């Protein structure tokens, strides 16, 4: 079982059959958990950026399918499948550019067809999507941190940590692991306008993990890269081409 050292997540499934999302719009002033019990509510949370980050969006949508199965469990099979198809369409429309959203929904559709809407089997699939993302992030972090020369300063942009994923983070996960391994001398994070994901989320995550970070204005990045001898800039990307671009 893969584990991460951070003690917070963007979302959590409750045994009572509800999904809780950490409302990222409220950070860093307060930690407000949204309790959701329907697929349309999950879609609204995605659309309104209460949950954000491609992997976290995909995981939330997978749990949204489980909520749909629970909501329509008492209906005859044809009506239940029609209602769930409608819920999946609402989830897909919540963020048309999120690749992870469609990957997660595609997996849930396959499971849905095989299990005829059994909520327990759909929940197992959603939990697998979440745990697989965490495992990938931990592997990526180890591989990336091993490349960083000890004593390096690093700059990151936006938020690519636990709040954006199933845990630990992608680009920020590399930074988190490199810091714990003693390879980093300083960490800089840009504010990331206009949503200020760096100022509100990345800085909050690192402070929560007791990792020192220097927050800078976006426009100061070039100057800091020159004056602070930054060796690495580690960021996330929405699309990776086959050649690595």
Q: At what angle do helices 54-71 and 77-93 cross, to 10 degrees?
A: 160
Q: How many other C-beta atoms can be found within 10 angstroms of the C-beta atom of residue 79?
A: 11
* Runs of H (alpha helix) within the chain: 39-47, 54-71, 77-93, 99-115, 119-145, 171-180, 197, 203-208, 221-227
Please, are residues 95 and 50 in contact by the beta-carbon 8 Å criterion?
no
- Residue 40's Cβ-count burial label (10 Å; 0-12, 13-18, 19+) is middle
- DSSP H or E segment with residue 11: strand 11-14
Enumerate residues 6+ apart whose C-beta is below 8 A from 7: 208
33 has which bridge partners? Answer: 22
21 has which bridge partners? Answer: 11, 34
Rounded Cα distance, 181 and 14, in Å: 34
Q: Are strands 230-234 and 214-216 parallel, antiparallel or unpaired?
A: unpaired
Query: Catalytic residue numbers?
Result: 238
């Amino acid at each position: 079982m893969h584990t991460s050292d951070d003690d917070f997540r963007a979302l959590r499934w409750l045994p009572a059959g509800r999904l809780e999302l950490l409302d990222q719009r409220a950070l860093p002033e307060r930690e407000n958990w949204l309790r959701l019990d329907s697929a349309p509510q999950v879609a609204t949370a995605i659309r309104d950026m209460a949950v954000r980050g491609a992997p976290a969006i995909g995981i939330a949508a997978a749990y949204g399918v489980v909520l749909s199965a629970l909501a329509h469990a008492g209906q005859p099979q044809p009506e239940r499948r029609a209602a769930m198809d409608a819920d999946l369409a609402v989830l897909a429309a919540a963020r048309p550019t999120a690749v992870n959203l469609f990957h997660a929904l595609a997996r849930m559709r396959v499971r849905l067809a095989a299990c005829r809407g059994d909520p327990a089997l759909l929940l197992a699939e959603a939990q697998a999507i979440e745990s697989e993302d965490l495992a990938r992030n931990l592997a990526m972090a180890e591989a990336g941190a091993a490349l960083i020369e000890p004593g390096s300063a690093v700059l990151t942009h936006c938020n690519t940590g636990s709040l954006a994923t199933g845990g630990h983070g992608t680009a920020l996960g590399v930074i988190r692991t490199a810091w714990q391994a003693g390879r980093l001398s300083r960490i800089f994070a840009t504010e990331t306008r206009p949503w200020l994901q760096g100022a509100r989320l990345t800085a909050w995550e690192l402070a929560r993990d007791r990792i020192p970070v220097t927050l800078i204005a976006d426009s100061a990045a070039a100057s800091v890269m020159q004056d602070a001898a930054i060796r690495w800039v580690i960021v996330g990307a929405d699309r990776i081409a086959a050649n690595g671009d």
